Chain A
Amino acid sequence: QVQLVQSGAEVKKPGASVKVSCKVSGYTLTELSMHWVRQAPGKGLEWMGGFDPEDGETIYAQKFQGRVTMTEDTSTDTAYMELSSLRSEDTAVYYCAIPNVFSAFDIWGQGTMVTVSS
């Protein structure tokens, strides 16, 4: 059974970068397509991007293009999401998630709170 364990909470200053990790267990990362979803306090869910196995590429939401980078370390089965040029509006819980064969997200990490504050 696949499990996702994310890194701990972060506090960053505006303009800084944050890198959140998501450790996979139960499967190898190469067998999975990792996505990232975030949720600002009291707000809804927002898809940031993820790996498209049909194209073999990572797709980013246009809103985050140029600021987000999603990478994987297959030697440790860990996925990373790095967001740069942070602003207060980036304060949110960041989730990693894996889709089932129908592309609905059935496995989620526990979430990582990122706070951007001066």
Chain B
Amino acid sequence: AIRITQSPSSLSASTGDRVTITCRASQGISSYLAWYQQKPGKAPKLLIYAASTLQSGVPSRFSGSGSGTDFTLTISCLQSEDFATYYCQQYYSYPFTFGPGTKVDIK
């Protein structure tokens, strides 16, 4: 199975900050990577797929980049509603696997 790591596991930031989360796959997955946001008690929400394509309705302050094994999620100007946990997921091959998550909380 493809292993996915994320860093950092958590971060504290302020509204207006630029935030970057990285995701690394144990082998090349081309651009078969998605990013999700999850708030407590809620289902995950798809933010980005195909490594860099913004899901419809997601604010443009979210962006994704990378291919192969290294990927990045950037939030350009953190808003109060962005405090949540973020997961990356590879869908290059079965079993689909998720990263362990990055919790973004208020500094």
List the interface of chain A (C-beta within 8 A of B). 35, 37, 44-47, 50, 52, 59, 61-62, 95, 97, 99-100, 102-106, 108-111
Contact = CB atoms under 8 A, between A and B. Distances in A.
A115 to B, nearest CB: 15
Interface of A, helix, strand, loop or mixed by DSSP = strand
A59 B46 contact: no
Interface stretch (B14-22, B71-79, B89-97): B89-97
A61 B87 CA distance: 19
Contacts of A104: 34, 46, 49-50, 55, 89, 91
A44 B95 contact: no
B98 A100 contact: no
Contacts of B49: 100, 102, 104, 106
Given A61-B95, A100-B49, A44 B100 contact: yes
A111 B34 contact: no
Contacts of B1: 62
Contact of A105 (B46, B53, B94, B95): B46
For the complex of A and B, list the 3 residue pairs with the smallest distance between their C-beta atoms, beginning with the closest: A104-B49, A104-B34, A108-B43
A103 B97 contact: no
B98 A105 contact: no
Given A103-B32, A104-B46, A45 B91 contact: no
A72 B86 CA distance: 31
A111 B87 CA distance: 17
